[in-house]
Amino acid sequence: MSPLIKCRKMCVNIISFEKQKETFENYWSIKNISQRETYISSLIDVTNKSTERRRLITSSKNREITAFYHIVLEGTRINICKQCFQKIFSITNKFLEVMIKKKKIML
């Protein structure tokens, strides 16, 4: 677990270091990898992107969805940024991509 960054969502002000540490320890105390994947997947919401800008025919953008990352504090889901989500749980970008891909299939 590394310190949170200063971001637009002000995650560093919302989540105390003690809560970060508690969340980190709870997550990594889950020994089964599939249960960890399920836990992380439950904290990510995936929706179709809401708007699209008109572009030239030759240009293409691949993004089809928007992902929202949450953390549970005192029974309430709080929206946080992707970087802070990764830092709190010490997970890689590739792991998140796989989780989002799995959720996108179910969408």
For 70-103, what is each residue's pLDDT tens digit?
999 888 999 999 999 999 999 999 999 999 988 8
**Residue 99 phi, psi (nearest 5):** -65, -40
Side-by-side strand order, sheet with 65-73? 44-48, 65-73, 76-80
Alpha carbon separation from 92 to 52, 60, 76, 82, 88 (Å, rounded): 28, 27, 25, 11, 11
Contact 43, 69 (CB under 8 A): yes
This prediction has a pTM of 0.83
pLDDT, residue 107, reads: 65
Measured torsion, CA atoms of residues 83, 88, 90, 96, in degrees rounded to the nearest 10: -50
Q: What average pLDDT score do residues 34-49 get?
A: 91
